[in-house]
Structure 1
Amino acid sequence: MNQLQKAGGIAALMEASIYVSAFIFFGAFWAYPIDANPAQQFAFLAENQVALSIVNLIMYVLFGVLLAILVMAMHHRLTINTPLLSQISSVFGIIWVGLVIASGMIANIGLATALDLATKDPEQAMTVWRAIYAVVEGLGGGNEVVGGLWVLLLSVAALKGNELPKILNYFGLFVGIVGIFTIYPADVLTEIFGLSQIIWFSWLGKVLLSRPKS
């Protein structure tokens, strides 16, 4: 159990690092030409395909693998005192794992498909790319309802079972509620959820590493 708790703590810290890296990459280095014509946009995507594919793998697939470890660690930590809530929260956690990993795979395969089509018909390729992007955003890019439910239920279980610092649990309630509110398509909600998750993952990781439960 101790080893699983430590693995969960490391996973949580790495997930916070992935969030930070994604904010830096898209905020400082990614200069997608939104106002350009389809041919120019696909020329940019083709030039940066390798970099974007690697970012998608880290931001979605690796994040999902680390999330699976954290979900199991938290389930085992909470299941003794709050078995029902722990099970319910873990269900949403595992669903979130699947959605995040699927988002990354769809994004990369969709990018390759759109770029291949762009050599023949840039306009149609742009339509396909926008449809793929909408699917990725709906599964795990811009809609964080499932992740919000996991954090919310986990925090409720931790409060009832007297696990983790209370302030962390109350902050988790806030993070979870914001995540659920991202069902409304507003970028500001997604950004608040992402920023607050960085703090939550970092805090949770330090707690799991410094106070492992045997």
Structure 2
Amino acid sequence: MRLQKLGGMAGLACAATYLFGFVVLVTLLAPLGFGTAGVDPRGVVAFIETDAALLILWNSVIYIVNALALTVLVLAIHARLRARTPDWADVTRALGLIWATLVIAAGMIANVAVERAASLAPTQFDRAVMLWETMHAVELGLGGGNEIAGGVWIGCVSLAGWIGRSLGRIVIGMGLLTGTSGMLTLVPVLGDVTGAVFGLGAIGWFVAIGLTLIRPRNVA
């Protein structure tokens, strides 16, 4: 299979991981405050005691599976951009691989936090809460709590596509909007809103770039 088509499938896979993450977040995890500054650590650890497997599955999909698919997508996009904007292509590859590394690291830390909290909670509940809170802060710092790395990469890919006319207007427009919202998660008071805009925008952008790579002549 050619890298372009494989990258297109990877883009659709990235969209699917985001969609899965949102569905679980707004249904099963909503009462715990996940995705907001008001997350309830004690409630999370109590949830882990009864259903640690769900959190591990969620973390694995939104972080680890996403990062693996993202890596393939980054390389496929680099190959597409290289013909017309080689310098920009190299920049996007570096930024994309940095983002993928941060995402997979956040996922591994998130899963270890769940596993350690699950083992401590039955006998040392308060210690389990403290441990989960600490490791969750590291997870958020790596990327779970902000979308700066992703916003910069998507924005640069879209800008490179515009400069070299190697991507369609839909991909470029959605990418610039999504990338900007991701970078704005740096502002604390805007974090929750811009994070949601980034996540929803990223789903659409991943679908658009995925279809562009799979069917380059038929996607605007």
TM more than 0.5: yes
Alpha carbons of structure 1 residues 153 and 120: separation in structure 2 relative to 1, 3 Å: same
Structure 2 counterpart of 1:75: 78
Distance 1:41 1:150, change over 3 A: closer
Between the two structures, name the one with larger relative contact order (CA 8 Å, sep ≥ 6): 1
Maintained 8 Å contact 1:33/1:41: yes
Question: Does the CA-based 8 Å contact 2:151-2:183 persist in structure 1?
Answer: yes
From 194, 209, 220, the counterpart of 1:204: 209
> Does structure 2 conserve the Cα–Cα contact (< 8 Å) formed by 1:32 and 1:41?
no
Q: Secondary structure at the match of 1:29?
A: coil
Counterparts of 1:96-135 in structure 2, within 5 Å, are 96-135=99-138
Q: Secondary structure at the match of 2:165?
A: coil
CA drift at 1:120: 3.3
Q: Of 155, 158, 182, which aligns to 1:155?
A: 158
Deviation at 1:170, TM superposition (A): 2.4
Match of 2:68 in 1: 65
2:36 aligns with none
Report percent identity of matched pairs: 36
Separation in structure 2 between the aligned mates of residue 184 and residue 37 of structure 1, nearest angstrom: 23
Establish whether residue 54 from structure 1 lines up as the match of residue 57 from structure 2. Answer: yes
Count matched residues: 210
Per-residue deviation, 1:33? 4.8
The correspondence for 2:147, drawn from 133, 144, 147, is: 144
Gaps of 5+ in 1: none
Please tell me the root mean square deviation across aligned C-alpha atoms, in Å. Answer: 1.9
**Structure 2 vs 1, CA of residues 200 and 31 (structure 1 numbering), >3 Å: closer, same or farther?**
closer
Give yes or no for the alignment of 1:22 onto 2:21.
yes
Distance 1:109 1:118 in 2: 14
Whether the 8 Å CA contact 2:82–2:89 is kept in 1: the answer is yes
Are the structure 2 counterparts of residues 150 and 105 from structure 1 closer, same or farther at C-alpha, using a change threshold of 3 Å?
same
TM-score (norm 1): 0.91
Contact 2:52–2:118 (Cα < 8 Å) also in 1: no
**Residues 72 and 120 from structure 1, CA distance in 2 versus in 1: closer, same or farther, beyond 3 angstroms?**
same
Q: Which amino acid aligns with 1:117?
A: L
Tell me, yes or no, if structure 1 residue 11 matches structure 2 residue 19. no
The AA in structure 1 aligned to 2:113 is G
CA distance in 1, matches of 2:117, 2:40: 17
Q: In 2, distance between residues paired with 1:37 and 1:79?
A: 46
Question: Relative to structure 1, is the Cα distance of residues 206 and 30 closer, same or farther in structure 2, using a 3 angstrom cutoff?
Answer: same
**Unpaired segments of 5 or more residues in structure 2?**
34-38
Which digits, 9 at most, give the CA deviation of each residue in 1:20-70, with x for residues without a partner?
1111111122254569893x6533212111111111111100100000000
Supply the distance in 1 between the matched residues of 2:41 and 2:71 (Cα, whole angstroms): 40
